[in-house]
Structure 1
């Protein structure tokens, strides 16, 4: 008979999960009962329609960041208290977010608890995160995250079992007080699944043929995808060890910021440029984001998803077999994908930022490929964005194109795409950890201008405002409405600026400024992005008065 203990506890303020769960500094999670409160709230909030916590099967794992080991043991003790039947846990707690999504779906699990703060820095002084995924493998909807939050505000006691620590370093199945804890190799299932999606023989033949000089470099950023990337690129595709870097997951990501962009993945960028690699790629802390570059070529995430969609049915067996049911992008993402959808006569959706919106469309069979400008790209093979899937998609495209046009580079693929569709010049400016109140005041001022339409008809630096709004979305599947998803200023020539506050940071506010300009002039296609966009960036800063409100002369990151 299991002996369940109860311990009195009191609520903590601010345990409201965002689009990617609860993210705070490690020291916040280390407060007595802070993590326990939130984990129990998750277990209590599992909808009865999903089976509830009692008798549940949950997939558990994370990105290997600091404090992961302690939280794994907390989940075991509280799961026994909640009557959970089974935990499926990655060895050493390592499980990428897309791999977890796949395992949830493959095992028909009730859901999953993911221990990650994604692309945020790790270590004792940095961030930790916890989020809940549903039985479809995707992030919990607001109805569930709101319920979790309500429970955290009233929680009075914890129910747990005092059991010995589980050894997660060994692959084994353990029986603990009625709870089955199955420790698995988190890489195996994911790699096997990728083999059903892509033609590994074709990619391998392209990359390893005797006369091929195509050099690849993958950067795991000391995050969760290191073991996955090494297995895929070295073990399965036959590339040399020199084709991978930073593939050992570390609790502090080696002191680096595991965010795959030109700023934080500078080691990769410098090596690709200096050593003349043909193809470079990186993934973030939990493996759901990606960056694609080539020699003297940067592929924006907006262009990446558009190019993958363009070639999907030609280059990727999964889509040859299943077809492409529809395309979708987040609202701030450039409109390059829209053009592909129009040309291929596919249903198209523009959704708020947050992968759960794509998940609804996928579950309804109305979206096959989707992406966010924040380096997230994916398809309906799982219900999360998937960094390594995107990398393998690009290698498939390069293998396909080079089969008929040898020596085609990443830059050649980009320019060929622009010749068909035109070019959507796009950039994002991030201002991280700014004063939250001042950021809110800036957005409030813009919303007042939208309500009064005071910007419409005015000209700034040669750009005349045609329309302003605060993006809202009616979900065609569940009929939910999401309001105030980003301030948009759209100009007569189709250019636009978007301003929104991000919820992925652990403290302060992050202001994101997006600028986009379309060109169908071939003479402009080779232009450097920032140079092409500078006039519009100047207009964006003038309209938003961002420098005045944030006190920042320069952004933290430009992508």
Structure 2
């Protein structure tokens, strides 16, 4: 097994020094072997890719290996969002799919993820089998090769999403920022199709993403915030590089924290539907408050959308999401979909401004301020550092007594006043994450400071 290839929270990502064509071909062969083993060795598969300079080339390498393994391979006509690939698997009854993307990572990275037949993220029992099968390509006789052809993935996804979110956006103006990623020509076109007036920003392909990571975080969306603050748009929406995540900007708040967005979307859906929510351990307890006020439950999972997806199936959840801006809803593929979430946010805005909805939720349930910091930690030191944290848990954090401890993912300290601190290793970067939630900015800053100190002493 090539130890440079490791499937983390959402596939294998690495710098281009390690993410090479020979290794990508090995992943392709491993997928061929896996599909043979599960009885889908002669069925079609889709290979998508994002807007990075090298992504289409890597996708072609994968397509060649898969075709040489006996599969007909579908490839989009250009870079397209990850959720379109996931939906195509379910819609076309494919054996699975591969997506070449490093998502929000900087331009010097690339990555690949395998999406099984149900369109949900692959669980470890699947990715472990793929990693165990890594080997050089072993093509079948040429007469047994499959075909490779370009297809449209946009239309069927758009029809599905518009059917799920039946909204009239004719009175809504959206400033849309593609961050030069694969959402351009997909998310903006969908919003227009639903009736919105769309102002486009960074909707030209740039493989270097303008010199920044295509991550729709507050520090990368100043231009979008200014555009919405000027009053020309009711709402700002941005996607990350492969458009599986969403960010929203409002006139009053500017960048809308993803935790608050999650609560607003769930509240909006509960106006006409019912069902529990699934959230990761790092996501706000405000979701629990919204659920309780409607007589619903919340299921907590480890970080990683694969766990959210599994719990959604087990509990027939109405919505599943994470604090990083990844969401999906019942009736859709159980993969985070930033295109769907963009339409959902605009639909909620058309019903009641998101600012007003969030104000109402906070007035009802109390102020909630989330925060997060990261501490550098090489991957090989993460287990020891986390063990050191667990062996030195404090009785209080920032003067607040620890009432309970959760180990769903990392270590989560639940404090007596309802605030909390979570320490867990990143699944995609050489870092330990410290998350916190409290009732004020000062309180959350104090929790993060103590949490950082705890982690730094362990690293």
TM-score by length of 1: 0.76
Quick one: which of 395, 399, 411 aligns to 2:346?
395
Change beyond 3 A, Cα 1:310–1:66: same
Change beyond 3 A, Cα 1:511–1:460: closer
Q: Contact conserved, 1:273 with 1:296, CA < 8 A, in 2?
A: yes
In the TM superposition, 1:14-29 aligns within 5 A as 14-29=4-19
Counterpart for residue 76 of structure 2:
90
RMSD between aligned residues: 2.4
Change beyond 3 A, Cα 1:253–1:137: same
Change beyond 3 A, Cα 1:343–1:235: closer
Counterpart for residue 231 of structure 1:
189
Stretches of structure 2 that go unaligned for 5 or more consecutive residues are: none
Change beyond 3 A, Cα 1:534–1:56: same
Change beyond 3 A, Cα 1:460–1:369: closer
Change beyond 3 A, Cα 1:161–1:273: farther
Q: Secondary structure at the match of 1:203?
A: coil
Q: Distance in 2 between matches of 1:280 and 1:391?
A: 10
Please tell me whether residue 132 in structure 1 is matched to residue 114 in structure 2: yes
Q: Distance in 2 between matches of 1:466 and 1:292?
A: 34
Higher Rg: 1
CA deviation profile, 1:409-467 (whole Å, cap 9, x unmatched) = 43222111112222322112234x544456555422211125xxxx23xx444311222
Please tell me whether residue 79 in structure 1 is matched to residue 29 in structure 2: no
Q: Distance in 2 between matches of 1:372 and 1:179?
A: 38
Q: Distance in 2 between matches of 1:34 and 1:102?
A: 27
Q: Contact conserved, 1:502 with 1:512, CA < 8 A, in 2?
A: yes
Alpha-carbon shift at residue 540 of structure 1 (Å)? 2.5
Counterpart for residue 517 of structure 1:
438
Quick one: which of 440, 449, 458 aligns to 1:538?
449
Change beyond 3 A, Cα 1:249–1:236: farther
Alpha-carbon shift at residue 146 of structure 1 (Å)? 0.7
Alpha-carbon shift at residue 235 of structure 1 (Å)? 4.9
Quick one: which of 426, 430, 434 aligns to 1:502?
426
Q: Distance in 2 between matches of 1:464 and 1:343?
A: 27
Q: Contact conserved, 1:225 with 1:287, CA < 8 A, in 2?
A: yes
Change beyond 3 A, Cα 1:25–1:492: same
Q: Contact conserved, 1:259 with 1:265, CA < 8 A, in 2?
A: no
CA deviation profile, 1:169-212 (whole Å, cap 9, x unmatched) = xxxxxxx9652333122322222222212224x222x22xxxxx
Stretches of structure 1 that go unaligned for 5 or more consecutive residues are: 1-10, 164-175, 208-214, 315-319, 402-408, 473-484, 519-528, 551-559
CA deviation profile, 1:79-121 (whole Å, cap 9, x unmatched) = 132111x2222112x2211111111111111111111111112
Please tell me whether residue 444 in structure 1 is matched to residue 387 in structure 2: yes
Q: Distance in 2 between matches of 1:534 and 1:59?
A: 45
Q: Contact conserved, 1:438 with 1:549, CA < 8 A, in 2?
A: no
| Runs of 4+ displaced beyond 6 Å | none
Counterpart for residue 318 of structure 2:
368
Alpha-carbon shift at residue 275 of structure 1 (Å)? 5.8
Change beyond 3 A, Cα 1:412–1:97: same
Quick one: which of 414, 418, 437 aligns to 1:490?
414
Q: Distance in 1 between matches of 2:241 and 2:106?
A: 8
Please tell me whether residue 12 in structure 1 is matched to residue 2 in structure 2: yes
Counterpart for residue 329 of structure 2:
379
Q: Secondary structure at the match of 2:13?
A: strand
Q: Contact conserved, 2:169 with 2:194, CA < 8 A, in 1?
A: no
CA deviation profile, 1:251-304 (whole Å, cap 9, x unmatched) = 222322111110223332343335664311111011111111212313221121
Quick one: which of 233, 239, 244 aligns to 1:283?
239
Q: Secondary structure at the match of 1:328?
A: strand
Give the aligned length.
457
Change beyond 3 A, Cα 1:279–1:396: same
Alpha-carbon shift at residue 23 of structure 1 (Å)? 0.6
Q: Distance in 2 between matches of 1:79 and 1:278?
A: 45
Q: Contact conserved, 1:120 with 1:258, CA < 8 A, in 2?
A: yes
Q: Distance in 2 between matches of 1:234 and 1:289?
A: 19
In the TM superposition, 1:435-474 aligns within 5 A as 435-436=378-379, 440-450=383-393, 455-456=394-395, 459-469=396-406, 471-472=407-408
Counterpart for residue 203 of structure 1:
169
In the TM superposition, 1:94-113 aligns within 5 A as 94-113=79-98
Q: Contact conserved, 2:388 with 2:458, CA < 8 A, in 1?
A: no
In the TM superposition, 1:213-228 aligns within 5 A as 215-228=173-186
Quick one: which of 194, 197, 213 aligns to 2:161?
194
In the TM superposition, 1:324-339 aligns within 5 A as 324-339=274-289
TM-score by length of 2: 0.92
In the TM superposition, 1:139-288 aligns within 5 A as 139-152=121-134, 155=135, 157-160=136-139, 178-200=145-167, 202-204=168-170, 206-207=171-172, 215-240=173-198, 243-273=199-229, 277-288=233-244
